[in-house]
Amino acid sequence: MYFVNAPFFLRWMYPSVTWNRSRASKKIYLTFDDGPIPEITPWILDVLQEHQVKATFFCVGENIVKHPEIYQRLVQEGHRIGNHTFNHLKGWDTPDEVYIENVMLCQEHTKSKLFRPPYARAKKSQINILRKHFELIYWDVLTGDFDLNISPEKCYANVLKHTKSGSIIVFHDNLKAIPSVKYALPRTITHFLQKGYTFDTL
């Protein structure tokens, strides 16, 4: 189970993480988790470039090592990089010491001030350590693009229903998400640009 829009009780339980940016201006923050990979990340970059939009990519360290040329393109095209652990670890299932070491191994490549835990599953003890080094970025719009039980159209509908000024939107550049991302991402950008919003990096 997952929440498309972060409910109040989650925000209350995790007050030290960032769920959204300021609601004061019509800015939206696109984020992408799990890449970079050749099957979808370059396509995403092409779409962003076409619309002159910047985004934030929470990269998995081992994918950076496997695909350095795509990672360099992310950096060169002005997108912001975030840390997403080296091996896409689930914090709930990982001892704190092992988890922190994995984050720091990824950090050797990303050198980022931003961290997002894979699956949003980090223990409070891990969060308490990591927030001394990073801004922990969660979201207020989880598109569901990774969910093979929903259609690309439903993924796009999730975005339209829940996005507002200051929203942090999560898409994924992983294999499962490809059909939904290819459908929803260009439509999301076009829709909100037409509504007078701008897109920014975190």
Domain ranges across the chain:
8-199
For the chain, the 3-state helix, strand and coil shares in percent, each to the nearest 5, are 45, 15, 40
Strand 168-172 and strand 114-115: the pairing is unpaired
Above pLDDT 90, what percent of the chain? 92
Mean local confidence (pLDDT), 103-121: 97
pLDDT reading at 1 higher than 70: no
Residues 156-180 have pLDDT tens digits of 999 999 999 999 999 999 999 999 9
Residues 65-85 have pLDDT tens digits of 999 999 999 999 999 999 999
Query: According to the model, what pLDDT value does residue 4 have?
Result: 72
Q: Which residue has the higher pLDDT, 120 or 7?
A: 120
Residue 55 · residue 27 · CB < 8 Å: no
**Does 172 participate in catalysis according to the annotation?**
yes
- pLDDT bracket for residue 9 (50, 70, 90): low
Query: Which of 33, 34, 140, 173 is an active site residue?
Result: 33
Closest CA to 170 of 158, 186, 179: 158
pLDDT reading at 108 higher than 80: yes
Query: Which of 84, 109, 162, 172 is an active site residue?
Result: 172
Could you please state the CATH topology (level 3) that the domain comprising 8-199 is classified under: TIM Barrel (3.20.20)
Residue 180 · residue 155 · CB < 8 Å: yes
Query: According to the model, what pLDDT value does residue 30 have?
Result: 98
Q: What is the mean pLDDT of the chain?
A: 95
Query: According to the model, what pLDDT value does residue 5 have?
Result: 72
Above pLDDT 70, what percent of the chain? 96
Mean local confidence (pLDDT), 5-31: 85
Query: According to the model, what pLDDT value does residue 137 have?
Result: 97
- pLDDT bracket for residue 7 (50, 70, 90): low
